[in-house]
């Protein structure tokens, strides 16, 4: 769930749109209080416009379905406490930093793929639609090309246009 | 937008913990806002992160998981 929170932050939706709370069967009062508290915090946020965040939500969904994040979630204890198959342990903070970095990369790549799903587009157009810097788009696009997920389609004048390859 | 904004919140409740907790809250007549729509799951571990996103997509203002 911390993965989802992180992704919601990246997408600009904000982690306050979701919550994970523990309420036991004997804690009716706590349940009522929690609902009250969450209602208040949601009231402050105001209504959520899903249409405006269509692209971001699609990208978050893509990241959550992607293999990289699926592999990385749930192995944290394994890698930080028990060590990998070579008996090497990874520092917990180092792991978290790595995880956040890859989560961010995956999210940016997913955004680009979602934009490309609407048709061929140039780096500048992608940067405009995703809100990412041009340089970041180039980097991620490079990665996507190497993985065979996107490719150069044609040149329009001197502007290269890219397409999405896989679904 | 009308005067008072009533948020629409989706809640996944674990059958054994929070659902019973919510039941108790109802039986004991604790007041809580009528803003949540409850989905009972057999275990909160069953709730895939994708469900949360799906909930937001479908127009809920907030999605929570109670375990």
User: Choosing among B11, B62, B63, which should be mutated to test the A contact, i.e. which has the most A CBs within 10 A?
Assistant: B62
Cβ-Cβ contacts under 8 Å, B24 against chain A: 25-28, 31
ipTM of the complex: 0.84
Q: Show the beta-strand stretches assigned E in A10-95.
A: 18-21
Average pLDDT score, chain B: 87
Task: Specify the pTM.
Answer: 0.83
- Look at A4 and B57 and tell me if their CB atoms are within 8 Å: no
Number of domains composing chain B? 1
Cβ-Cβ contacts under 8 Å, B11 against chain A: 35
CA angle B15, B17, B22 (to 5 degrees): 85
| B16 secondary structure, DSSP code | T
Q: What pLDDT, in 10s, does the model give residues A117-139? A: 888 888 888 888 888 899 999 99
State the Cα–Cα distance between residues B32 and A29, nearest whole angstrom: 9
Radius of gyration of chain B (CA): 13
Establish if B43 touches chain A: CB-CB under 8 angstroms.
Answer: no
B7 close to A17: Cβ distance less than 8 angstroms: no
Cβ-Cβ contacts under 8 Å, B31 against chain A: 32
Nearest to B39 by CA among B25, B24, B51, B53: B51
- Asked, for residue B16, whether it belongs to a domain, the answer is yes
- Asked, for residue B27, whether it belongs to a domain, the answer is yes
- Reported residue count of chain B is 67
- State the residue range of the domain holding B53: 12-66
CA angle A127, A162, A61 (to 5 degrees): 65
Q: What pLDDT, in 10s, does the model give residues A64-83? A: 888 888 888 878 778 888 87
Q: What pLDDT, in 10s, does the model give residues A6-23? A: 888 888 888 888 899 898
Cα dihedral A112, A166, A54, A122, rounded to 10, equals: 40
- Asked, for residue B1, whether it belongs to a domain, the answer is no
Question: Domain-by-domain residue ranges, chain A?
Answer: 2-45
- Asked, for residue B19, whether it belongs to a domain, the answer is yes
Q: Say how many Å lie between the first and final Cα of chain A, rounded.
A: 26
Out of B25, B49, B66, closest to residue A64 by CB = B49
Interface of A with B in 68-127 (CB under 8 A): none
- Asked, for residue B46, whether it belongs to a domain, the answer is yes
């Amino acid at each position: 769930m911390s993965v989802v929170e992180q992704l919601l932050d990246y997408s600009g939706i904000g982690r306050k749109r979701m919550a994970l709370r523990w309420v036991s069967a004997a804690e009716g009062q706590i349940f009522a209080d929690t609902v009250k508290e969450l209602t208040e915090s949601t009231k402050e946020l105001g209504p959520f416009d899903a249409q405006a965040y269509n692209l971001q939500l699609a990208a978050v969904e893509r990241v959550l379905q992607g293999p990289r994040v699926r592999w990385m979630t749930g192995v944290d204890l394994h890698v930080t406490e028990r060590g990998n198959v070579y008996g090497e342990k990874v520092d917990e903070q180092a792991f978290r930093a790595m995880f956040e970095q890859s989560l961010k990369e995956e999210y940016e790549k997913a955004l680009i793929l979602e934009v490309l799903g609407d048709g061929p587009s140039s780096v500048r157009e992608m940067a405009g639609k995703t809100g990412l810097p041009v340089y970041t788009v180039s980097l991620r696009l490079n990665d996507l090309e190497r993985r065979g997920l996107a490719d150069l389609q044609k040149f329009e004048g001197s502007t290269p246009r890219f397409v999405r390859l896989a679904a | 937008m009308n005067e008072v904004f009533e948020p629409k919140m989706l809640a996944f409740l674990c059958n054994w913990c929070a659902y019973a907790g919510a039941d108790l809250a109802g039986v004991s007549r604790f007041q809580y806002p009528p803003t949540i729509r409850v989905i009972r799951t057999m275990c909160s571990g069953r709730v895939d992160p994708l469900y949360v996103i799906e909930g937001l997509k479908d127009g809920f203002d907030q999605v929570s998981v109670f375990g």
